[in-house]
Amino acid sequence: MAFVDGSVVNVALPAMEKDLATSVTVVQWVVNAYELCLAALLLVGGAAGDQFGRRSIFVGGIVVFAAASLWCGLAPDAMQLIVARAVQGVGAACMIPCSLAIIGASFNESERGKAIGTWAGASAIAAAIGPLLGGWIVDHSVWRAIFLINPVLAMVTIWIALRHVPESRDMQAVRGLDWRGALLVLTGLGALVYGLIASPTLGWRHPGVIAAVIAGGALLGAFVWEEERSPNPMMPIELFRSRTFAGVNLLTLLLYAALGGAFFFLPFDLIQVHGYSATMAGAVFLPFTVIMAALSRWSGGLLDRVGARLPLIVGPIITAAGFGLLALPGADGSYWTTFLLPIVTLGLGMAVSVAPLTATVLNAVPAHRTGVASGVNNAVASVAALLAVAIFGAIAIGVFDRALDQHLASPDLSTEVRRVLESAHGTFVTQPSSADLASSDRTIAEWLLKSALAQSIRVAMLFAAVLALGAALCAALMIAPDRPTDGRSAKF
């Protein structure tokens, strides 16, 4: 449920924006409310499972997730949808870490690798199904249905968990949860993201934007201070004293920010600019996931042969090339000539990167801290997706609005077309809503809107390429050459 829901929503975002008659700024919160609570509470959810029972927290997370999904599907307006998505994130923060911890506790060492491999394969299948399933549902029903299937899945999952999954705890786990740390990172990230998302509409000099960014920075600084002094920190700061651990997490932040930001805006490009159906837009992502899954074993073997540093330089560079190729399409062109090669390139780049990234995270810390290190790295990836949607949104909306202003500067536009362009600021909607437009004016307005949106997405993809190159630079400068690793299981 969590992995499907994380990917299924993006394909439905254009339909949500149109149906709720809202702006892309509000739609960003549909994604970020979920990512915010997931990123802030992921480590707390894992610690709660260790202390109070992994199956209990897992089932509790499913109940919360299912109830929030029902709320999402029935939400009458955008504000309730955003709040419900935040509650979904709380449920996912309990489900995701406990699912892997249950596997670790349920299998002995000789069988655990195969079990984790099965879990990773199921995660990859879910990530592949999500966009395609979401697109099909949006095309043949309403976007609300993507949430309403979760309660049905939840009932089956709870029955399986209670009947077949044994309860387990970590009897040596330190008692108590780091609620102060969780509250500080939740409010700090929330304030920072609010400032970033509001900046295109209000402007960077607006007191609310300035206050939000300053407050977010201060709260995140307080979070670091709290974690250094907490007896049971959710994110042990001393781990970052390892140059390699700090470097690989910075690489994770940049690489997954590039991926999250690009994949947020790609459905807008496919559906709004190129006229794809939601199902076709979901299918565009399939080669990426298939390549990731197919090459995971090969990537592990590459890790055994050459170590982690070289793949962590080459992989992000290949990924950057994929983003660069996505920046080339304008407002026309077929799938085969515009999107297939970039998506395949992205899949290859990430396949080269993922196994070495995970192995480097685990090898950079003592053996007894690998669980904490993996949790921190997953939390960093979630924070990357959260910040990416806000930052990419601020950039793309700014470019979109400036492109519209350039079109409005033309003296040849009719009054009706001007009115359409002026009302489109900040919306990312390319279909004029005015029913009284003449056919010729409608054609002109649609072409200008698509041109502006294509230009903004081009800039977003180029920014993603820059971030991916920054990830490669982190690997080159901060990760020391190493001996080939033992090819530990990759994270999907």
Cα 470-474-477 angle, rounded to 5 deg: 130
Is 108 part of any domain? Answer: yes
Residues 6+ apart with CB under 8 A from 312: 248, 251, 353, 356, 357, 360, 471, 472, 475, 479
Boundary-marking domain end, from 166, 186, 213: 166
Question: Measured between alpha carbons, how far is 134 from 12 in angstroms, rounded to an integer?
Answer: 7
Is 171 part of any domain? Answer: no
> Does 253 lie in the same domain as 227?
no
CB 98 within 8 A of CB 49: yes
Is 173 part of any domain? Answer: no
Cα 163-168-45 angle, rounded to 5 deg: 100
Is 376 part of any domain? Answer: yes
> Does 348 lie in the same domain as 480?
yes
> Does 75 lie in the same domain as 147?
yes
> Does 104 lie in the same domain as 120?
yes
CA dihedral 231, 232, 238, 242 (to 10 degrees): 160
Phi-psi region of 403 (alpha: psi -120 to 50; beta: other; left: phi over 0): alpha
In the chain, what are the helix, strand and coil shares in percent, each to the nearest 5? 80, 0, 20
Phi, psi dihedrals of residue 482, rounded to the nearest 5°: -135, 170
Burial class (CB in 10 A: 0-12, 13-18, 19+), 273: buried
> Does 440 lie in the same domain as 360?
yes
CB 49 within 8 A of CB 177: no
Q: For residue 341, give the CATH number of its domain.
A: 1.20.1250.20
Tokens coding 479: 């990760």
Q: Which residue has the higher pLDDT, 17 or 68?
A: 68
**Residue type present at position 219:** L
**Residue type present at position 198:** A
Count of Cβ atoms closer than 10 Å to residue 410 Cβ: 11
**Residue type present at position 214:** I
Question: In this structure, what DSSP letter does residue 21 have?
Answer: T
Boundary-marking domain end, from 233, 257, 278: 233
Residues 6+ apart with CB under 8 A from 122: none
Question: Measured between alpha carbons, how far is 312 from 406 in angstroms, rounded to an integer?
Answer: 41
pLDDT (average), residues 369-375: 76
CB 438 within 8 A of CB 416: yes
Q: Which residue has the higher pLDDT, 484 or 209?
A: 209
Question: In this structure, what DSSP letter does residue 488 have?
Answer: P
> Does 103 lie in the same domain as 11?
yes
Phi-psi region of 233 (alpha: psi -120 to 50; beta: other; left: phi over 0): beta
Percent of the chain with pLDDT over 70: 91
Boundary-marking domain end, from 119, 140, 166: 166
pLDDT (average), residues 479-490: 54
pLDDT band, very low/low/confident/very high, at 249 (cuts 50, 70, 90): very high
Phi, psi dihedrals of residue 237, rounded to the nearest 5°: -65, -25
pLDDT (average), residues 297-308: 75
**Residue type present at position 179:** W
Q: Which residue has the higher pLDDT, 246 or 368?
A: 246
Of 490, 388, 383, 392, give the one whose Cα is nearest residue 89.
383
> Does 197 lie in the same domain as 154?
no
Count of Cβ atoms closer than 10 Å to residue 212 Cβ: 22
> Does 400 lie in the same domain as 316?
yes
Q: Which residue has the higher pLDDT, 146 or 110?
A: 146
Q: Count H helices, E strands: the chain?
A: 19, 0
> Does 246 lie in the same domain as 114?
no
In the block, tokens 């349920």 appear at 106
Is 396 part of any domain? Answer: yes
**Residue span of the structural domain in which 422 resides:** 237-492
Of 297, 234, 251, 253, give the one whose Cα is nearest residue 488.
297
Chain centroid to Cα 260, Å, comes to 4
Tokens coding 483: 């001996």
Count of Cβ atoms closer than 10 Å to residue 401 Cβ: 18
Which tens digit of pLDDT belongs to each residue from 118-159? Answer: 776 677 677 777 788 888 888 888 899 999 989 999 999 999
CB 264 within 8 A of CB 10: yes
> Does 22 lie in the same domain as 46?
yes
In this predicted structure, what is the pLDDT of residue 117?
Answer: 63
> Does 434 lie in the same domain as 404?
yes
Is 282 part of any domain? Answer: yes
Give the dihedral sign, CA 46/52/57/63.
negative
pTM value is: 0.85
CA-CA distances (angstroms) from residue 360 to 29, 118, 252, 311, 316? 33, 22, 11, 11, 15
Is 291 part of any domain? Answer: yes
Query: Half-sphere exposure of 322 toward its Cβ, with a 13 Å CA cutoff?
Result: 28
Mean pLDDT of the chain: 86
- H/E stretch holding 413 reads none
- Provide DSSP, 116-130: HHHHHHHHHHHHHHH
Number of domains in the chain: 3
Tokens coding 321: 């090339």
Question: Measured between alpha carbons, how far is 29 from 77 in angstroms, rounded to an integer?
Answer: 13
> Does 217 lie in the same domain as 331?
no
Tokens coding 192: 């920072």
Is 172 part of any domain? Answer: no
Which tens digit of pLDDT belongs to each residue from 43-101? Answer: 888 888 888 888 999 999 999 999 999 999 999 999 999 999 999 999 999 998 888 77
What is the Cα Rg of the chain in Å?
A: 22
In this predicted structure, what is the pLDDT of residue 154?
Answer: 94
In the block, tokens 């201070």 appear at 225
In this predicted structure, what is the pLDDT of residue 482?
Answer: 59
